[in-house]
Amino acid sequence: MQVLELNKKARDLFNETKAVIFDMDGVMVYNTPYHQRALKEFCEIKGKPLTDEEMEDKIYGRTNREWLLNLFDSSLSDELVDEYAHEKELMYRNIYRDDIQAAPGLIAFLELLDMKNLPRAIATSAPPVNVDFTLDSINAKSFFEVIINDTMVKHSKPHPEIYLKAIEVLGLKPEECLVFEDSKSGIKAGLDSGAKVIAIESSMPPQQTLDLGAHASISDFSIFLQAS
């Protein structure tokens, strides 16, 4: 599909939806390079060098607990999992603190959702401390009453639990909701929940997101602020 066609498809999906659900990392902030740097530095320190393929297949979209157990040792104690997770996320926040900014068009889009009285939620695999760090840094917390984080689910993406939970809290049917995602596991989770999915092209090229089943793919939220 051409860019104009994809943008029109995305706008049509938005105009038909009754609620919007956002992933956070890679969607509301384009922070993938900062997470990559923190992950690689953390794994190097722990003697477990990390490849780009391992990041995409074993880490993106997953909770810290899941990827740590998958990547290191499934017998890691809860205490060590918590220690590793805290260490890695502190590295990430320190790396990203001076550069963090909202994704292009995000704040204006959230203001548009307010104007249209459209319910919205965040469904993120990030821990609460990162959610607070992100939303406070970009002044977006006031736009959300529903926030599902990694402590609220048993199964991380690509399992659809986090989106099903957000949809349940919003009180709507899955097909009435529109999900914004950027990762392979996140796109699958959104689709398997029964929601429509628009991919944000912060982590993958458009064709790859479409091949994964995304209903549309956009560069950023500014396309919703333009005339159709």
| Domain spans of the chain, in order of start | 3-31+101-225, 32-96
60 pLDDT tier (thresholds 50, 70, 90): confident
- pLDDT value at residue 2: 74
- pLDDT value at residue 139: 98
- Positive or negative, the CA dihedral 194, 28, 34, 152 is negative
* 53/143 Cα distance (integer angstroms): 35
228 pLDDT tier (thresholds 50, 70, 90): very low
Least confident residue range of 5-9, 90-94, 144-148, 193-197: 5-9
Is the pLDDT assigned to residue 61 strictly greater than 80?
A: no
Task: Give the residue numbers annotated as catalytic, written as ranges.
Answer: 23, 25
62 pLDDT tier (thresholds 50, 70, 90): confident
Which of 203, 204, 207, 202 is closest to 219 using CA atoms? Answer: 202
Which of 1, 75, 84, 74 is closest to 38 using CA atoms? Answer: 84
Q: What is the pLDDT of residues 125-177, one digit of tens each?
A: 999 999 999 999 999 999 999 999 999 999 989 999 999 999 999 999 999 99
Is the pLDDT assigned to residue 92 strictly greater than 90?
A: yes
pTM greater than the 0.85 cutoff: yes
Is the pLDDT assigned to residue 77 strictly greater than 80?
A: yes
- The architecture that CATH gives domain 32-96 is Orthogonal Bundle (1.10)
CATH classification number, 3-31+101-225, choose in 3.40.50.1000, 3.40.190.10, 3.30.420.40, 3.40.50.10320: 3.40.50.1000
Percent of the chain residues past pLDDT 90, beyond the cut: 82
Judge contact between 178 and 19, C-beta under 8 A: yes
Compute the C-alpha angle 89/90/91, nearest 5°: 90
* 185/48 Cα distance (integer angstroms): 23
Sheet strands (E) in the chain = 19-22, 120-123, 146-148, 177-181, 196-200, 216-218
DSSP annotation of 62 reads S
